[in-house]
Amino acid sequence: MSRVLLPVLASALLLAGPAQAADAPPGASSCTGCHATTKIADSVIPRIAGRKAADIVTFMREYRSGAWPSSVMGRIAKGFDDQQTNAIAAWFAAQSE
């Protein structure tokens, strides 16, 4: 990820200054309503920060198609297309675990 991220950061710094509030892609900030940004004791819901982007994309795609069973994620994954899912996955993957 870092090879992809650094040029993005560098250009962001040069063009727009340090406040990059909107760099979270659409939808990403809602994920942390369940998938915590910090470690939560006794949570059965996995954190996704720092997971491999390809793994997050796979989970979302399989939940969306129904190939993998889920309680709620299938209903949510259906709201995101491939491009949106890829952007969200890359954003979480770039974060520290």
List contacts with another protein (CB under 8 A): 2, 5-6, 9-10, 12-13, 16-24, 26-27, 29-38, 40-45, 49, 69, 71-72, 75-80, 84, 94-96
> What angle, rounded to 10 degrees, do the helices at 53-65 and 82-93 form?
140
Shortest distance in whole angstroms from residue 10 CB to another protein = 6
Cβ 77 to another protein shortest distance, Å = 8
In the block, tokens 């069973």 appear at: 69
**Contact residues for 78 (Cβ-Cβ < 8 A; gap 6+):** 64
In the chain, count of helices (H) and strands (E)?
5, 0
For residues 54 and 78, which CB has a smaller minimum distance to another protein in the complex? Answer: 78
Q: Which is nearer to another protein, 29 or 55 (CB)?
A: 29
